[in-house]
Amino acid sequence: MRRTSFAIRLAGFLLYVAGSTTTFAEITELGSRRELFVDHFLIEKLQNAKLKMHEPRREGVAIKFDKPWEGGFSCYFTVIKDGELYRMWYRGLPVAIKDGIGDSTCYAESKDGINWTKPNLGLFEVAGTRDNNVVFTDEPFAHNFSPFLDGRPKVSVDEKYKAVAGYMKGGLYAFKSPDGIHWSKMQPGPVFTNGIFDSQNVAFWSAAEKQYVCYYRTYKKFDGKGCRWISRTTSKDFINWDQDVDMEFGDTPPEELYTNGTHPYFRAPHIYIALAKRWFPGKVAVSAVEAKSLVDNPKYRNSSSDSIFMTTRGGNHYERSFLEAFIRPGSTAEDWIARDNTPALGVVPANAREMFIYRGSHYAQPSAHLARYTLRTDGFISVNAPYAGGELLTKPFKFSGGKLEINFATSAAGGVRVEIQDENGEPIPGYELADCPEMSGDEIDRVVAWTSGPDVHKLAEKIVRLRFVMKDADLYSLRFF
């Protein structure tokens, strides 16, 4: 009797699973983390809606590279917000062909991310003086020294900051610092050698993967021609690194990616954003006469670059939702020459509503500087619905928390409403579309409410979907809390 009853229950359960619209493998455990619509991770269906990329707004010059040890070939910038202080490291290099003043790693800081100072640190003599902002001079590592603030739990105080640097066949070396100013090697030799490394190689502690991750320069051949590529490796201790893998970009054309700029997004660190420099050698936008008047070194006259946006959630895949430029070169001839337009590593918060992005401008020219850009918080890509209206249906997921928060913007004519459905797409009573008053406005952290209020505790840890009905609106992110 018991065996028969169990068999009936098992058969019924299997029939239920077979007939269900979802499987256990498809259920995303969202928890309380923030999700951005920078890819299709959470999107099951868009109806009369689409993903829309938003271009940052240029705000002006952040830093001029006007010191004798800096100059036109200053590059490979890293920006970190450490508590209330913005900190920046970058390569100083006056000339491409060294004539006595080589690479140095320079340091600047700011209280607001807008006004930057270059402290006189007195650590190294460069260009005949110790009154400078240089924190590192070791060749060849100062060429592409790339620091990060180590977020690993219980990291030693003398390793609060780490960095990677290396060049060509010499390999990648590991460095540490207690304060971001005083640096030392973590071991005499390289920690990783399988790469080219002649770019800004980047590393960080991934809280999502619980390991260190490094993205670095390699080359890959297409039709017999070498193309600058990105590879990845991982480590548990920052010294011993695993087998590397080439990154892949899905069904996209191979392009020369000069830098990768990959790092965890500060409001959703399980999503790594990558602001990469895309380089077009030999593509000239100015006349030869104008190019010669702008750039002394003929090697740096015949190319154009722009900045692209990619994401990855770990593994060896970059998502390129858009092949178009994230930031175009600019409006002047100086922006369209040399190996210009290198994005800084590090998108940082400006205030509750905006983020700062930095990018090198006028490379190899006397007017070389770092420019500052602003962008809406979470505002890289949105789900956009036109005036005629559109819908987004998410994939099934589970969440933790008791309220739903969205980052959205509408026109005065527009609006957003949210419906919570069960795993089979049926509206849940009390959370139907008719129960959700239309939301209009421009808010980073709007809490969604239905007729009964904002509380969704009783749905936590159950399989649900979200249906967004939108008109002339952009949806940037969501999270439960």
How far is residue 479's CA from residue 463's CA, in Å, rounded to a whole number? 15
Q: How far is CA 57 from CA 328, 358, 379, in A?
A: 11, 11, 12
Measured between alpha carbons, how far is residue 254 from residues 228, 276, 281 in Å? 9, 14, 14
Identify the CA nearest to 344 among candidates 110, 159, 38.
110
Give the residue-averaged pLDDT of 292-310.
94
Could you read off the pLDDT of 308-331 as tens digits, one per residue? 999 999 999 999 999 999 999 999
Q: Decide if pLDDT at 233 tops 70.
A: yes
Distance from C-alpha of 191 to C-alpha of 172, rounded to nearest angstrom: 6
| Contact of 173 with 190, CB cutoff 8 Å | yes
Q: What is the mean pLDDT of the chain?
A: 93
- The contacts of residue 240 (CB under 8 Å, 6+ apart) are 191
Residue 11 has pLDDT above 70, yes or no: no
Res. 2 pLDDT band, cuts 50 70 90? very low
pLDDT of residue 9: 41
Distance CA 2, CA 24 (A): 28
User: Rounded to a whole number, what is the largest CA-CA distance in the chain?
Assistant: 94
- The fraction of the chain above a pLDDT of 70, given in percent, is 94
57-71 pLDDT, tens digit per residue, is 999 999 999 999 999
Tell me the pLDDT tens digit for each residue of 98-134.
Answer: 655 789 999 999 999 999 999 999 999 999 999 999 9
Q: What is the pLDDT of residue 17?
A: 38
Full-model pTM: 0.93
Rounded Cα–Cα distance for residues 364 and 366 (Å): 7
pLDDT over 70 (residue 269):
yes
User: For 164-216, what is each residue's pLDDT tens digit?
Assistant: 999 888 999 999 999 999 999 999 999 999 999 999 999 999 999 999 999 99
DSSP 3-state of 109: strand
